[in-house]
Amino acid sequence: MKITFLGTGGGRFVVLNQLRATGGFLIESKNLNMHVDPGPGALVRAKEFKKNLTKLNSVFVSHRHPDHYIDLEVVIESMTGGAKKKRGILISNESVIKGSWDEPAVASKFHLNVLEEIYILKPDEEISFLNTKLKTTKCVHANGKCRGFVLEDEKKIGYTADSEYYNGQEDYFKKCDCLVINCLRPRNAEPYGHMTADKAKILIEKTKPKLAILQHFGMRMLFGVSERVAKWIEQETGIKTVAARDGQSYEIEKENKSLANF
Ligand SMILES: [Zn+2]
Q: What is the pLDDT of residues 68-120, one digit of tens each?
A: 999 999 999 999 999 999 999 999 999 999 999 999 999 999 999 999 999 99
Q: Ligand 1 mean position to 141 CA, how many Å? A: 7
pLDDT given at position 97: 97
**pLDDT of 259:** 57
Cβ neighbours of 47 (radius 10 Å): 13
Per-residue pLDDT, averaged over 135-146, amounts to 95
Quote the DSSP letter at residue 217: B
Q: 58-60 and 89-92: which strand pairing?
A: parallel
Q: Are 180 and 159 in contact (CB under 8 A)?
A: yes
45 contact partners, CB below 8 Å, separation of at least 6 = 6, 7, 21, 22, 23, 246, 247
What spacing in Å lies between the alpha carbon of 30 and ligand 1's midpoint? 30
CA distance 201 to 241: 10
Q: How far apart are CA 38 and CA 36, in angstroms?
A: 6
Taking residues 206-215, what's their average pLDDT?
A: 98
Write down all domains in the chain, each with its CATH number in brackets. 2-246 (3.60.15.10)
- Per-residue pLDDT, averaged over 220-245, amounts to 98
Partners of residue 242 on adjacent β-strands = 213
Distance (angstroms) between ligand 1 centre and the Cα of 254 equals 32
Distance in Å, CA 136 to ligand 1 centroid:
16
- Phi and psi torsions of 198, nearest 5°: -65, -35
- Ligand 1 centroid vs 63 CA: distance in angstroms? 7
Residue 59 CA, ligand 1 centroid: distance in Å: 17
Q: Output the CA 98–ligand 1 centroid distance in Å.
A: 18
Residue 254 has pLDDT above 70, yes or no: no
Q: Report how far ligand 1's centroid is from the alpha carbon of 255 (Å).
A: 32
Cβ contacts of 113 within 8 Å, gap of 6 or more: none
Q: How far is CA 245 from CA 7, 12, 93, 116, in A?
A: 7, 18, 28, 32
With bands split at pLDDT 50, 70 and 90, how would you rate the model's confidence at 260? low
Beta bridge pairs of residue 135: 126, 150
The Å distance, Cα 194 to ligand 1 centre, comes to 8
Count Cβ atoms below 10 Å from residue 257 Cβ, excluding itself: 10
Q: Kindly give the distance from the C-alpha atom of residue 130 to the centroid of ligand 1, in angstroms, as a whole number.
A: 28
